[in-house]
Amino acid sequence: MFITAPAYASETPPPQPSGPLAKLQGITSRASELALHAMTMIGIRYQYGGNAPESGLDCSGLVRYVFKQVTGAELPRTSEEISRVGQNVEPSELQPGDLVFYNTLRRGFSHVGIYLGDNRFIHAPSAGGKVRIESMDISYWKSRFNGARRINQPAE
């Protein structure tokens, strides 16, 4: 069996970023991957305490599952516990892959979703619902917003 090198192998590869730029590119890439992987969960049914797509997901189960699949990170079980991980992010500085938190049960940080960009987030809403994308501009979500966090993973 004869194997040939790809045509581009003889070309000089494009320069790769180094230093702080490489780290930024790695973080940006992982953030986009988090958002994209989360979108593959659209339509998965809500299940209180659920942490696997096969059996259903609750809000923190969705976040934990996506982060584990994409980054290998083991996040705490509840949205309130997850709200203590990572760095605080101002709403004006949200990036895809950031976590957004809401007060939906008359207590802070009782709901979590993954920010996708363009003021939209993906989440597992509640009993009878399915994983879906919603606008943060809807009055229900605006009035219940608790804050946002960024879970930075070390560059690989």
Among residues 65, 57, 78, 76, the alpha carbon closest in space to that of 127 is found at 57
Task: Please confirm, yes or no, whether 109 is among the known catalytic residues.
Answer: no
Task: Please confirm, yes or no, whether 37 is among the known catalytic residues.
Answer: no
Task: Please confirm, yes or no, whether 123 is among the known catalytic residues.
Answer: yes
Say if residues 63 and 81 touch (Cβ distance below 8 Å): no
* Of 57, 59, 62, 131, catalytic: 59
* Of 79, 83, 97, 111, catalytic: 111
For 21, left (φ over 0), alpha (ψ -120 to 50), or beta?
alpha
Among residues 101, 106, 104, 113, the alpha carbon closest in space to that of 147 is found at 101
* Of 53, 66, 97, 123, catalytic: 123
Give the active site residues: 59, 111, 123
